Amino acid sequence: MLDDWKRWFPDCEPIAHHLPVVFAERWVRFHSLPGSKRYPDNEAEYATVIERHNRVLGELAHPGDDVALLTTGYSETPEPVRTERELLNLDPLAMPWRTVAMHQQDDNFSEPIFWHVFVSQWRWSPGVFDPLVRLIADVVLSNIMMVALDGRWLLHPYHGGMDVMVESRAARDSLKERYLEWIAPEWLAAGDARDVELRLHNSRKLNS
C-alpha cells in the first residue's frame, strides 16, 4: 500500500500538520460544525461532525473502494509501538509503515521523540470510520489519515474539522465550491499550530 506516497507527497513525511504547509495549492480545510465551533457538546453536534466527514469522504471514495488508514503511535525510541488503546481495539490489523524522528523535523522537539505510523486497509462505506472520527473530535486520537491506496487524495480529521489533499488545484477548487458553507476562514483568530505555521509559510512565500 501507498507505494506512490513519494509521488504525491515528495520530501514530506506523513505528519498531518505539515501537509497543508508544503502542498497548500492542493489543500482545503472544512470545519466540522457550523460557525467554526471547535468541539461538539451534544449528540446532535456529534452527528453533524460525522455526517460532514462521510459527505467529504464520499466525494473522494466510492462505497467498496479500498482505502488506507494511517494511525500513529508515540515513543522515545525508534522501535515501532502502538500507544493508544483505542487504536488497538478499532484497528487491530495495522502494520508498521514508517517511523519519523520528530526531533529532526521543524517542530521544536527538544528531546528525542518518534512518531510510528501504522497502515491498514479498509473497504470504505459511509460510517466505517465513524468511531475514529468521534474519538478525534474528543481529542483522544491525533495524526490519523484516510488515504487513497494510490495516494491521490488524503483526508486528515482533527478536532474541529478536516484537512483534505487532492491531486490538483483544479480538484481542490471543485471540492471547495461544493461545500463553501463548511470552509474554514483563511486565518483563524485563535488559531492552532497548523494555522500559525500556515500563516508563517504563506507570509514567507509572499515576501520572497
DSSP class per residue in 102-157: GGGSSS---S--EEEEEEEEEE--TTTTHHHHHHHHTTS--S-EEEETTSS-EEEE
Residue 18 lies in a domain: yes
Residue 140 lies in a domain: yes
State the amino acid at position 195 in one-letter form: D
DSSP 8-state symbol, 184? P
pLDDT score recorded for residue 144: 95
Q: Which residues of the chain have pLDDT under 70?
A: 184-208
Do 141 and 90 contact (CB within 8 A), yes or no?
A: no
- Residue where the block lists cell 461538539: 40
**Helix or strand or coil: residue 5?**
helix
pLDDT score recorded for residue 185: 65
Residue 147 lies in a domain: yes
pLDDT score recorded for residue 109: 80
Residue 85 lies in a domain: yes
Residue 10 lies in a domain: yes
Residue 176 lies in a domain: no
Instruction: Give me the domain span that covers residue 99.
Output: 5-157
Task: State the Cα–Cα distance between residues 60 and 171, nearest whole angstrom.
Answer: 10
Residue 189 lies in a domain: no
Number of domains in the chain: 1
| Three-state SS annotation for 48-105 | HHHHHHHHHHHHHCCCCCEEEEEEEEEECCCCCCCCCHHHHHHCCCCEEEEEEEHHHC
